[in-house]
Amino acid sequence: MMALLLLEGFAEAVLDGPGLPGAAGAVPHALDGRAGLLFGEPAPALCAWVEYATEVLAGEPGLEDRTCDITLPPSAGQAVAGASKPARVLAYAPPGLELLAGPMVGEIALCAGQVPAEALHARLGMIRTRAAARLRGRAHPAPASLRRDWGREAVRESARRLPWAGFFTVEQSELCFRRFDGAMSAPVERAGFVSGDAAIVLPYDPARDLVLLIEQFRYGPFLRDDARPWTLEPIAGRIDAGESPEEAARREAREEAGLDLERLEQVSAHYPSPGANSEFFYCYVGLARLDASMQGVGGLEAEAEDIQSHVIGFGRLMELVSSGEANCGPLVLLALWLEANRPRLRAGA
């Protein structure tokens, strides 16, 4: 059997992915100055998900799949030190987005045996979006002044599965976590909805004291049997890989309302439902010039968007919040923030 050497992307997925099949037995190995993991006798299960991942990523920039002769150390299954053996070398490092490779390959590996490779290839955009969200989660933790300053090392994840995968995914883990008495919990199972990060912006014209809301059909209220599944919302959208939250907010304002924002005031960055949802919101009030002529229907036809824009006065916005007609959480949050900060914004207009 040919040896297997996993470099960027693939190696990170093995190290970060609890429960990936055949991941035991790896030996650190470097090739051309790049650190990786070497399998002298790769397990069939490991080979199977490697084949699947390379099929999903076929044609992607940064995918490397080649063979070469390498020297295997005894711990990698080679009895005679110094002897060489043909090895399949795999790496995935998309140009400009190299750090996304590990989380992307990890998610792809979890889909093996559940989602046809061609179907998953069509969803690589959302896989990149989720990978970028994971990287932001690692890089920008919120402060810990009241809560415990415990990190991910206080959680021991023994397995992870993907019971459902589509445009969004559901992931299920078996894990233990540190209790407040210092002991580790008994093993528990947790499942969560995995989407990506979103940028949310409420456009506001401080000179005219106007806001812009959008209205559209929403599947969530429909699932709840809501009698009126059309909701009033701020502008919102997923943050694409390689895009900052601020860039996403400005892009979505153009796509959904044909609006160019002048300045963004960050309101909050938060989890709307952390018990079972990885989604993370970056919320802004966006200063812009607004008038009644901006009311109309927009959105991207390619995404089946049908979005009505409403330009209303600030007082009308607060009436909608008070009556409950504005029943979208981020809109209520942004309206209350605007109520508190409106005098400052108007004074500077």
Which residues are known to be catalytic? 303
Question: In Å, how far are 50, 138, 141, 166, 330 from 276, measured between CA atoms?
Answer: 29, 18, 19, 17, 18
Helices and strands (H and E) in the chain: how many: 9, 16
CB neighbours of 51 closer than 8 A, spacing ≥ 6? none
CB neighbours of 311 closer than 8 A, spacing ≥ 6? 210, 211, 212, 290, 291, 292, 294, 295
Question: In Å, how far are 218, 233, 255, 316 from 302, measured between CA atoms?
Answer: 17, 21, 11, 33
> In this structure, what token pair is assigned to residue 137?
């989660």
Question: How many CB atoms sit inside 10 A of residue 217's CB?
Answer: 13
- What distance in Å separates the CA atoms of residue 63 and residue 3, rounded to the nearest whole number? 19
Show the DSSP H helices in 224-276 as ranges: 245-257
> In this structure, what token pair is assigned to residue 204?
């506001």
Provide the 3-class DSSP secondary structure of residue 233: strand
DSSP state for residue 182 in the 8-state scheme:
S
Provide the 3-class DSSP secondary structure of residue 280: strand
- What distance in Å separates the CA atoms of residue 71 and residue 263, rounded to the nearest whole number? 57
**Contact status, residue 249 vs residue 286, Cβ threshold 8 Å:** yes
* Residue type, position 31, single letter: L
